[in-house]
């Protein structure tokens, strides 16, 4: 059965705390922390972008898979912050990991679920036998407009997965997609920051699709929340995934392992995929994992994985996600953060 | 002048963030509910209370729109606007039309669809109820204006921060028993006092929310209604309206709601009743301080003593005169144009004895007070069970 044969994540070292952002805008930090369930977020350095993050994560995935990158037949990058409007992110990534030239590539975009779109297509390519290995990445260096609620959460990070049919560490038991046209969050061409419809992003958008996809896939395979060891939801803030889990009937300890957002922020296309890497880091053979992404616009992809006996062989072959989240952090002040994120520019 | 009765009442099923319903859907749902409740199959005239369909959903000509979608063409349909007292003013127009003998069956509805715009846009739209040139354009918002009133009241009368909070605690306790309410849950004193600061001293739990909602009543001459009413009738004893300065800074006294006091005096005289005769009231608690000041202007408490009413339990269910048994604007929600009509729906429900767990036992006489802006306009109605 096809599935994940290698995985990896990357989190930039820089962080900024909610208090630091709130201080600048005269906002009430405790209420933002409570309201969003967030403490800090990861910030890319001035020389980092979605592609460099993808390269870091992909290298870890290759190390865990233990394969020759030349055998990767497809490199798909899902992001809403591709550095180029026209020019694929995947060409640079494929070149950097040594997968060129016999390789397909495409950039995926579906707000925060572009990463799981890439995973789905990669899986299908492998299952069809068209390619031996496929690399799917969800990565973002997203930005919220200065002072907007999104500025407290929009973070940077990447997760990469290699799919194959042999030496699988997590078999894909089932997939499911749930999508409608629901405009809750968007960014038009030439706009620097996204716009969102405030509270409309909650119930009719995130919850409708996340709950719809989670229930849909469980119904499809006749499973219930108690059949899963872990569940990973898209995590735009600390509260939404807990709320979604509670409403579906999951216990908090099933959710917490993959809920990175309080210290990471929302890594958009990387969000639920990075949560999955944190779960794989500590999972045991036989564990069942449900992952549900969410992308504004809007839709959710759901995957059910069964962890295999090979998981223990690969967990220590690269840095674990929580190690990157909890260690070697550098805290930025708002001025440095503003410079790193291109919000202020040095005179020519 | 003919005696006028409320023959039927209606609300749309649930107030709150009605993402899947438009302005017309909400109005029609409430209007049909009222027509069903009244048991009538036609009307002679209709009024639509709405503050600013134009700014919230870019739609004016609401009388025509609602008549069209309710299927009542060609009866006359008129939109009534008096900011947050649009609903109360619409009810008064309906009352006058029936009392005068011009029409027999009048539908009075109120509606607002507020969640299609961002918070900033909603704040701007609501600012239009203040003096735009001299207040809003200078930077003050409604929470800011009511915060000034609260500060002045605290300064002059020693009203405390906790007393403000008790108004929210009481109204949420009532609203928890109202299935239509936007926020049907209790809040504690601590939660109110620790909630996010909006405009010092007002915190978020001192403020009524942004709400989509509608309410409707069917008015009928009392004598005719007696012949075919299937449910208990409620007589409108008095309908009164008064105006005051639109700008807060033009008032002689920012701690006194002159328009409410004037409207109440007229209403009490018209009804032949006084504040001591009331068993239940719905008042305009757009902010906690508003309920305190309204109780004073209505003569329910002495001037300057409004702060004690909620804290002492006097205005809670089980108290001397329960106020805002529906949850008030605070807990039930405040779709501005609907509020004045919804207040009449709650009092009619109380006087019919159909208010369920929030019923005031034996309530016979009730009052509604609906207010526009910072009290630039006020509408007071008094009702009696018949």
**Interchain CB distance below 8 Å, B19 and A200:** yes
Q: Which residue of B has its CA nearest to A32?
A: B196
Whole-angstrom distance, CA of residue A197 vs CA of residue A193:
14
Read off the pLDDT band of A198 (50, 70, 90).
confident
pLDDT digits (tens, 9 = 90+) for A286-312: 999 999 999 999 999 999 999 999 999
Chain A contact present for B369, CB below 8 A: no
Mean pLDDT of A320-332: 97
**Interchain CB distance below 8 Å, A199 and B17:** yes
Tally the C-alpha atoms within 13 A of residue A57's C-alpha that lie toward its C-beta: 35
Angle at B223 between CA B220 and CA B224, to 5 degrees: 55
**A312/chain B closest Cα distance in angstroms:** 47
Nearest to B323 by CA among B338, B336, B306: B306
**B4-118+211-234 and B134-207+236-385, same CATH topology:** yes
Q: Which two tokens stand for residue B138?
A: 């200078």
Percentage of chain A lying above the pLDDT 90 cut: 93
Residue A276 predicted with pLDDT over 90? yes
Give which of B16, B196, B199 to mutate to test A binding, by max A Cβ within 10 Å.
B196
Contacts of B67 (CB under 8 A, 6+ apart): B46, B73, B74, B75, B77
A vs B, Cβ pairs < 8 A, gives 15
Residue B124 predicted with pLDDT over 90? yes
ipTM for the predicted complex: 0.74
Q: Where are the domains of chain B?
A: 4-118+211-234, 134-207+236-385
Predicted pLDDT at A189: 87
Task: Show which residues on chain A lie within 8 Å of chain B, measured between beta carbons.
Answer: 28, 31, 197-200, 203-204
pLDDT digits (tens, 9 = 90+) for A132-163: 999 999 999 998 999 999 999 999 999 999 99
Q: Is pTM beyond 0.95 here? A: no
Angle at A249 between CA A246 and CA A253, to 5 degrees: 70
Q: Which two tokens stand for residue B288?
A: 């906690």
Residues of A in contact with B115 (CB under 8 A): 199-200
Whole-angstrom distance, CA of residue A208 vs CA of residue A225:
18
Known catalytic residues of A? 80, 112, 234
Which burial class, exposed, middle or buried, applies to B138 when counting CB atoms under 10 A from its CB (0-12, 13-18, 19+)?
exposed
pLDDT digits (tens, 9 = 90+) for A252-271: 999 999 999 999 999 999 99
Q: Which two tokens stand for residue B101?
A: 């003998």
Chain A contact present for B19, CB below 8 A: yes
**Interchain CB distance below 8 Å, B118 and A198:** yes
**Interchain CB distance below 8 Å, A203 and B20:** no
Predicted pLDDT at A78: 98
Q: Which residue of B has its CA nearest to A204?
A: B19
Q: Which two tokens stand for residue A182?
A: 């629901």
Predicted pLDDT at A338: 96
Nearest to B368 by CA among B217, B160, B154: B217
Residue A21 predicted with pLDDT over 90? yes
Mean pLDDT of B45-54: 97
Whole-angstrom distance, CA of residue B274 vs CA of residue B352:
21
Q: B134-207+236-385, what's its fold?
A: Peroxisomal Thiolase; Chain A, domain 1 (3.40.47)
Whole-angstrom distance, CA of residue B64 vs CA of residue B169:
40
Helices (H), ranges, chain A:
18-25, 29-36, 50-65, 89-97, 114-128, 208-221, 239-248, 252-256, 261-264, 271-282, 311-314, 321-326, 334-340
- In this complex, which of A28, A31, A204 lies closest to B19 when CB atoms are compared? A204
Mean pLDDT of B174-199: 97
Give which of A199, A207, A208, A298 to mutate to test B binding, by max B Cβ within 10 Å.
A199
Domains observed in chain A: 3-169+311-340 (3.40.47.10), 172-307 (3.40.47.10)
Chain A contact present for B20, CB below 8 A: yes
Chain A contact present for B17, CB below 8 A: yes
**Interchain CB distance below 8 Å, A31 and B196:** yes
Known catalytic residues of B? 84, 334
CATH 3.30.470.20 fits B4-118+211-234, yes or no: no
């Amino acid at each position: 059965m096809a599935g994940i044969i290698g995985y990896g994540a990357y989190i930039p070292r820089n962080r900024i705390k909610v208090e630091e952002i709130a201080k600048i805008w005269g906002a009430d930090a405790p209420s933002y922390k409570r309201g969003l369930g967030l403490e800090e977020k990861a910030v890319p350095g001035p020389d980092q972008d979605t592609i460099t993050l993808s390269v870091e994560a992909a290298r870890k995935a290759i190390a865990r898979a233990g394969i020759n990158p030349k055998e990767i037949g497809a490199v798909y990058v899902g992001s809403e912050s591709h550095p180029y409007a026209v020019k694929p992110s995947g060409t640079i990534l494929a070149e950097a990991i040594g997968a060129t030239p016999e390789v397909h590539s495409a950039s995926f975009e579906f707000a925060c679920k572009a990463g799981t779109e890439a995973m789905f297509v990669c899986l299908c390519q492998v299952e069809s036998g068209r390619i031996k290995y496929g690399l799917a990445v969800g990565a973002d260096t997203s930005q919220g407009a200065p002072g907007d609620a999104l500025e407290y959460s929009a973070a940077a990070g990447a997760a990469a997965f290699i799919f194959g049919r042999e030496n699988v560490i997590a078999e894909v038991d089932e997939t499911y997609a749930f999508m409608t046209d629901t405009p809750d969050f968007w960014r038009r061409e030439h706009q620097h920051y996204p716009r969102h419809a405030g509270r409309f992003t909650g119930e009719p958008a995130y919850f409708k699709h996340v709950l719809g996809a989670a229930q849909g896939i469980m119904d499809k395979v006749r499973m219930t929340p108690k059949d899963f060891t872990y569940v990973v939801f898209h995590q735009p803030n600390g509260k939404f995934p807990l709320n979604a889990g509670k409403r579906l009937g999951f216990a908090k300890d099933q959710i917490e392992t993959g809920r990175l957002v309080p210290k990471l922020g929302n890594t958009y296309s990387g969000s639920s995929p990075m949560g999955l890497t944190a779960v794989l880091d500590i999972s045991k053979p036989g564990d069942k994992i449900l992952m549900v992404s969410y992308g504004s616009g809007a839709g959710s992809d759901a995957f059910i994985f069964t962890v295999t006996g090979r998981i223990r062989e690969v967990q220590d072959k690269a840095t674990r996600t929580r190690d990157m989240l909890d260690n070697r952090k550098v805290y930025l002040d708002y001025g440095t953060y503003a410079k790193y994120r291109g919000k202020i520019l040095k005179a020519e | 002048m003919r005696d006028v009765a409320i023959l039927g009442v209606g609300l749309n099923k649930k107030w709150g963030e009605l993402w899947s319903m438009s302005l017309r859907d909400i109005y029609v749902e409430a209007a049909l509910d009222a027509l069903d409740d009244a048991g009538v199959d036609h009307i002679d005239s209709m009024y639509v209370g709405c503050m600013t369909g134009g700014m919230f959903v870019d739609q004016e000509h609401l009388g025509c729109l609602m008549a069209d979608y309710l299927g009542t063409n060609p009866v006359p349909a008129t939109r009534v606007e008096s900011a947050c007292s649009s609903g109360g003013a619409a009810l008064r127009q309906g009352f006058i039309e029936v009392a005068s003998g011009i029409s027999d069956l009048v539908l009075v509805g109120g509606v607002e669809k507020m969640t299609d715009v961002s918070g900033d846009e909603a704040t701007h739209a609501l600012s239009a109820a203040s003096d735009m040139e001299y207040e809003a354009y200078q930077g003050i918002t409604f929470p800011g204006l009511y915060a000034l009133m609260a500060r002045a009241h605290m300064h002059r009368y020693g009203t405390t921060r906790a007393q403000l909070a008790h108004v929210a605690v009481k109204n949420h306790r009532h609203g928890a028993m109202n299935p239509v309410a936007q926020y049907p849950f209790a809040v504690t004193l601590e939660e109110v006092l620790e909630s996010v600061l909006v405009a010092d001293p007002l915190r978020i739990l001192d403020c009524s929310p942004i709400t989509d909602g509608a309410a409707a009543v069917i008015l009928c001459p009392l004598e005719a209604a007696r012949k075919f009413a299937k449910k208990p009738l409620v007589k409108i004893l008095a309908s009164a309206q008064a105006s005051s300065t639109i700008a807060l800074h033009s008032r002689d006294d920012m701690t006194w709601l002159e328009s409410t006091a004037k409207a109440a005096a007229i209403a009490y005289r018209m009804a032949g009743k006084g504040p001591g005769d009331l068993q239940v009231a719905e008042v305009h608690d757009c902010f906690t301080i508003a309920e305190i000041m309204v109780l004073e202007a209505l003569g329910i408490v002495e001037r300057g003593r409004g702060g004690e009413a909620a804290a002492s339990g006097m205005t809670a269910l089980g108290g001397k005169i329960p106020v805002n048994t529906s949850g008030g604007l605070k807990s039930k929600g405040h779709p501005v144009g609907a509020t004045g009509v919804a207040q009449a729906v709650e009092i009619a429900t109380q006087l019919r004895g159909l208010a369920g767990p929030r019923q005031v036992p034996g309530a016979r006489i009730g009052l509604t007070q609906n207010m526009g802006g910072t009290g630039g306009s006020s509408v007071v109605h008094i009702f009696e069970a018949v």
